[in-house]
Amino acid sequence: MQQTLPHGQAFVECGAELNSLQVLQSALDDSNPTVPIFFILSPGTDVVSDLDRAAIESGFEKGTSYHNVSMVQGQDVIAEQLLSLADKEGHWMILNNVHLMPSWLQTLEKMLDDFAMDRSERSKNMESLSAAEKAEFDTRDRFRLFLTSDPSKAIPPGVLNRAIKLTFEPPAGLKANLKRAFCSFSKEMVDDMDKKSKAILFGLCHFHSLMMERKKFGPQGFNMMYPFSLGDLRDSAVCLTNYMEDADAKIPWADLRYIFGQIMYGGHIVNDNDRLLCMTYLDFLMDDGLLEEKELFPFCQDEKPAVSFICPSPTSYDRYLAHIDNELKGETPLAYGLHPNAEIEFRTKRSVELFEVLEQISPKEAPDGDDEMMQSPQHVAENTLNEILERIEVESDEGLYFIMEDVEEMIDTEKGPFQNVFLQECTQMNALVKHMIESLRELEKGFAGELTMSDSMEVLQRSLFDDRVPATWAKLGWPSGRDLASWISNLQDRLQQLTVWTENPTEIPKCTWISGLRNPQSFLTAIMQETAQQNKLELDKLMIVTEVTKLDAAGVQTKSREGTYIHGLSLEGARWGKDTGIIEKSQPKEMSCRMPVIVCKAVPTSSAISGIYSCPCYKTQQRGPTYVFNAQLRTKSPAERWILASVALIMDIPE
């Protein structure tokens, strides 16, 4: 829109310099007694505080000529009484959370219709009214009604159509977010600040815009989605003002970083790696460099073409806005510390989501034909069903892939931590394969007309047609972002690894494909248990450390002398230098990098390792709840660079 429509840039940025109070004031100018203002609430918005300020500025007194009612059970009678009084006396009234009482909204709509009709009749007879009646009519014209509600389908169209609708959503883009954040403070407030406070406030606004806009990168931005809002920024600014009033000549940077990162914004954050990311941003931004001309784009010195955004020396409100307009040019992941490849991933996911929606709304039935694209959903599902049954062969009459009694008999008295891990994996795979075969056989009978198609069978048919892993299979399986065909291939590889182990269950593989385990954490725990037993150490005082080798899985001939060899991990957000043995920047369009074989061993938690990046490892690219452990990867660059770049090891990346 910005680039294609005439004056598109001006349209998109219209009102970008207005704060929420100024937007409300503009809406008040357009409203009248018969046109309510309807606020559609979004996380972090504080409509009531803005309305309270506007009411005071307009001469209304809270509780006397300005009424605030929260719509919960039993408040409808009170609301009707106060609404009639407000209309008669020309008061302001706000009804909060009207979506909680959808049935009463019909009454509200009728009352508003009655108020509008009464005003219309009086306006027709203005000439016949006495001076006192005209004065009363002028007083009634001050009446304003405000409604707040979450997005809801229960709001009557008659209420919505007559109202001015307002909502406050974060804008798209770093520049727009920074501008919105800075404009949320009044010009008078900023200009009255001392130079130090101005500089810190600008840095705080930049930090807020980073936290808001980074969410668009999905799991590479944050492991979870957090409801950061302008309320967090305003509260942080209040704390800043209070601290600076009592501070001496030296700025208490450590205190400010803790308040902003651990309390104000950190109060939303529940993931340890996201909290570390937040504090790393603050460590980079909040220092004495803000008082001069500090670079606000992290670790961009060696980027080509060069990108930069310099914090200006403390100046006036208008010059700060001009600096944002003139100096912050274009959007780039480098502004957040991410690699430019992150934008490829972000836009690819957006495109996939779009096509998934198009697929959902497209017709599913098609006429019969020889072309596979013209086959019916049942025909496609039936072909997929037969293919899966051919690929997963079970010899046991009970539908079990592994005969656990035979395996346990071979282990006998030599069962150790690793044997327990593999036995659990075999048991879980048995449960998964048995359920898959039973559900497929049931669906097969449904296709043949031997059974009536149930809801669960129709859901399974739909999943087979869409090439999606059925939910009941995924529940018994493992976290995965693969489509069904790739998932079945992955399942076969996992079964093959366990089959090789069951042939000699007293020995663990020379190099374990850790990505092929349903519960890789248990394997890492087994490494610590083995070390604790051999060295008579306490298990809770051990931790896993990693060392990257130059070997590939095929090149491993013997077991590791210390620890265990693992493979199957990929590095996302950076690449591993096989020659240098350290983390390096990714090549353009290189979305991930296969890691060589890694040695995992257990050491006392007191062991200090320098020159490393503690890299989180996840089962899938979804990250978040699929966290496994932290691996130690050597680096010459500061570890903070890779923290901001969200560099992580991923166990399962679909090819």
Residue-wise pLDDT for 99-118, tens only, equals 988 888 888 889 988 888 87
Question: 3-state secondary structure string, 511-537?
Answer: EEEHHHCCCHHHHHHHHHHHHHHHHCC
What tokens were used for 274?
């996201």
Residue 305 clears pLDDT 80, i.e. is over it: no
333 neighbors 339 (Cβ within 8 angstroms) = yes
Range of lowest pLDDT (345-349, 460-464, 596-600, 613-617) = 345-349
> What's the CATH code, domain 363-507?
1.20.1270.280
Q: What is the pLDDT of residue 636?
A: 93
**Beta-sheet pairing, 648-650 with 612-618:** parallel
> Which of 559, 556, 533, 544 shows the shortest CA–CA distance to 415?
533
- Amino acid 297: pLDDT: 93
Does residue 399 surpass a pLDDT of 70?
A: no
Please give the CATH number for the structural domain made up of 509-655: 3.10.490.20
Query: Do 511 and 517 meet the contact criterion of CB atoms below 8 Å apart?
Result: no
Tokens of 143: 């009446």
The 10s digit of each residue's pLDDT in 471-521 is 999 999 999 989 999 999 999 999 999 999 988 888 888 999 999 999 999
Domain residue ranges of the chain, discontinuous segments joined by +:
15-167, 174-341, 363-507, 509-655
Q: How far is CA 96 from CA 87, 146, 193, 405, in A?
A: 18, 8, 35, 65
Over residues 235-283, the pLDDT tens digits come to 999 999 988 887 777 888 999 999 999 999 999 999 999 999 999 999 9
Paired tokens of 351: 């495109």
Average pLDDT of every residue of the chain: 87
Prediction pTM value: 0.82
How far is C-alpha 54 from the geometric centre of its chain's CA atoms?
A: 34
Non-local CB neighbours of 131 within 8 Å, separated by 6+ positions: none
Predicted confidence at residue 655, as pLDDT, reads 74
Q: Given this structure, which CATH class describes domain 15-167?
A: alpha beta
Can you state the angle between helices 47-57 and 20-30, rounded to 10 degrees? 60
Architecture of domain 174-341: Orthogonal Bundle (1.10)
Cis peptide before 314 (omega within 30 of 0): no
3-state SS assignment for residue 298? coil
Residue 534 pLDDT class (50, 70, 90 cuts): confident
19 band by pLDDT with thresholds 50, 70 and 90: confident
